[in-house]
Chain A
Amino acid sequence: MNDVPPFDSDTFRADRRSLVLCGTGALLGLIIAGFGLFTAQGTRTAHIPAEDAALVNGVPVLLADLNTQLQSTYNTGLATASRAQKEALLNGLIREELYVQRGVELGLPNDDIDVRAALVNATEGQVAQDALTSRPADDELRAWYNRHIEKYADQGRMTLNDYVIPADGSDPARIVSRLRQGAAPASLSLKSSGRVDDGEEFYFAARIHLGDRLFAVARALRSGQVSDPVAMPDGVHILVMLKNIPPIPATFEQAKDAVLRDVLDDKVKRLQAGNERFLRKRADIRIAAALR
């Protein structure tokens, strides 16, 4: 008994058609796959999304970026720029994208120190950006303010005289005593050190002008007080405090912009530290025996 259908039978034609279609499909698939594989067009989309000016190997060049460039270069926008202007800038953006992609292919993030530094900065900045998009609640800001209230004090201010007693046999203790009794400095022929003769100063400036040791003495004086003699390398100093206004803490309302800034800075630092911990944790880092 012969099971092979006759050459011109319907069954034979149907089998042959199936085989041809199957082969054609496979060939077509291979051509498409090969085209995609060997021409780097695998991610190409059929149309350019509305927000894009171009796609470069599937990476979008945004119309918004083109518009920004038109404004900064030609002081015009998409609606009013000439075709030549748009073309020139778009070509520049496409060139930039091509070179960025080529740079990645060449491994520049591994080799070029500027690219590496820029990537590190940009990644840190990215964490910061994510932190800033959410506004802390008022309770959180107030809690921070209460914990760091001294930081939000205004600079203290002081107006004082700094006299130097030369080592010529004068008795500093007697001079201090006379000053405390109300004698005018001029009547005692006192000479100013010249360090704080410009009138009222902020604490930070007084510290710079007087030096840490004399500033510590000055800061403890109340308005109208005269210090004990302070022996310094250039002679004995006597400080006469005319007005001392210690730092006054700003209220929350007065300081809240600074509080918000500090809270966000702190959040950024914590997130960046957390990000680094995460990166280290997921990375496979092996250190040479000699450096462990």
Chain B
Amino acid sequence: MSRTAVHYTTAAAGAAILLLLVVISIGVHRHALQAAILRADPDTILADPRLAAFALDRGRNVYRRHCASCHGNAGKADQGFGVPNLTDDDHLYGSGQVSEIEEIARFGIRSGNKRGRNLASMPAYASAHPYALEPLPPQSPQQIEDLTQRLLAFTGRQTDQAAADRGEKLFRTTAGCWDCHEFNASGDPSTGAPTLTDDIWLYGGSHDDIYRSIARGRAGVSPSFERKLSVADLRDVAVYVANLSRRSKTHD
């Protein structure tokens, strides 16, 4: 072998070793970052640019693989399926903290996981037994119309004030709506009962959409990924989803 060939071989071996060291260093660095993310209080991660950048990068990939099929790549609402908008500041459960989102991703909503969120669902008032968990009286077509008018009235869209007034009374008494949605219809993030006074609608806010929600009931599902995703994946995707809402606030 000539001296030149020996030099080339030595240089190539050196480069390969250098490359290997770089790859190992990057791997070690990424591992350390992920470990720091896992050890951190989840609700502080977005405030740390170094950790946030890493978690968002990994979280985006996890989101696209496992969440986008329902929530879409952009995290926008799909009222047909009752898929909430992940990019606004309105949260059905909790207040949009990373830890809350991580818990939902891990245990789900009405997912069959006992640690998931499953305290309540929307009764189907146009049925003989509107609600499985407690006895609630069915409502007549007129009563459902009255309740619909009441909900439309929150955004000034009622077409029959007398019906809206009757609906208000039903809301606070026999229909039992107050039990989940509170007397002032402000909702309850611990049970996932949405606020009814704003113009954000999970299943559509037209007269017919609201009437149908009251008549037929609703019970959206979010799967439990406890056994499908690693702890690191769950943390990173929670950071990513929390940031979707945060990002839209920043843009506003």
Binding site for B on A (CB under 8 A): 50-51, 62-64, 67-68, 71, 77-80, 121-122, 124-130, 132-135, 154-155, 157, 198-202, 204-205, 208, 250, 253-254, 256-258, 260-261, 264, 268
Given contacts A129-B224, A129-B227, A205-B128, 9 further A-B contacts (CB under 8 A): A67-B41, A77-B44, A79-B40, A79-B43, A155-B126, A155-B215, A198-B140, A201-B141, A208-B128
* B114: Cβ under 8 A from any A Cβ: yes
* B38: Cβ under 8 A from any A Cβ: yes
Whether A50 pairs with B34 at a CB distance below 8 angstroms is: yes
Contacts across chains A and B counted by CB atoms under 8 Å: 120
* B212: Cβ under 8 A from any A Cβ: yes
Number of B positions contacting A (CB below 8 A)? 50
Whether A128 pairs with B111 at a CB distance below 8 angstroms is: yes
Q: Among the listed A62, A155, A200, which residue makes an inter-chain contact with B127, where contact means beta carbons less than 8 Å apart? A: A155
Residues of chain B from 69 to 108 with CB closer than 8 A to chain A in the complex = 69-70, 80-82, 99, 102-103, 106, 108
Binding site for A on B (CB under 8 A): 34-36, 38-44, 66, 69-70, 80-82, 99, 102-103, 106, 108, 111-114, 126-128, 138, 140-142, 203, 212, 215-216, 218-221, 223-228, 231-232, 234-235
Whether A260 pairs with B81 at a CB distance below 8 angstroms is: yes
Whether B82 pairs with A135 at a CB distance below 8 angstroms is: no
Contacts of B82 in A (CB 8 A): 257
A132-B128 in contact given A122-B114, A200-B142, A257-B81 (Cβ < 8 Å):
no
With CB as the reference atom, state the residue of chain B lying closest to A137: B69
Q: How far is the CB of A1 from chain B (nearest CB, A)?
A: 51
With CB as the reference atom, state the residue of chain B lying closest to A159: B141
Whether B142 pairs with A128 at a CB distance below 8 angstroms is: no
Could you write out 15 A-B pairs with CB less than 8 Å apart? A51-B231, A51-B232, A51-B235, A64-B231, A64-B234, A77-B99, A125-B114, A127-B112, A130-B227, A130-B228, A155-B126, A155-B215, A199-B142, A258-B216, A261-B221
Q: Complex Cα distance A79/B43, Å? A: 8
Q: Among the listed A64, A155, A256, which residue makes an inter-chain contact with B106, where contact means beta carbons less than 8 Å apart? A: A64
Whether B223 pairs with A204 at a CB distance below 8 angstroms is: no
Contacts of A258 in B (CB 8 A): 216
A202-B126 in contact given A129-B108, A157-B141 (Cβ < 8 Å):
yes
Contacts of A78 in B (CB 8 A): 40-42
Q: Complex Cα distance A198/B225, Å? A: 49
Q: Among the listed A121, A133, A135, A201, which residue makes an inter-chain contact with B228, where contact means beta carbons less than 8 Å apart? A: A133
Whether B141 pairs with A202 at a CB distance below 8 angstroms is: yes
Whether A254 pairs with B81 at a CB distance below 8 angstroms is: no
With CB as the reference atom, state the residue of chain B lying closest to A53: B39
Whether B138 pairs with A202 at a CB distance below 8 angstroms is: yes
Q: Among the listed A125, A134, A254, A260, which residue makes an inter-chain contact with B113, where contact means beta carbons less than 8 Å apart? A: A125
Q: How far is the CB of B129 from chain A (nearest CB, A)?
A: 9
With CB as the reference atom, state the residue of chain A lying closest to B204: A254
Whether A132 pairs with B141 at a CB distance below 8 angstroms is: no
Q: How far is the CB of B235 from chain A (nearest CB, A)?
A: 8
A129-B41 in contact given A135-B69, A201-B140, A202-B126 (Cβ < 8 Å):
no
A132-B111 in contact given A77-B99, A78-B41, A205-B138 (Cβ < 8 Å):
yes
Q: Complex Cα distance A127/B113, Å? A: 10
Whether A129 pairs with B113 at a CB distance below 8 angstroms is: yes
Q: Complex Cα distance A78/B66, Å? A: 27
Q: Complex Cα distance A135/B65, Å? A: 12
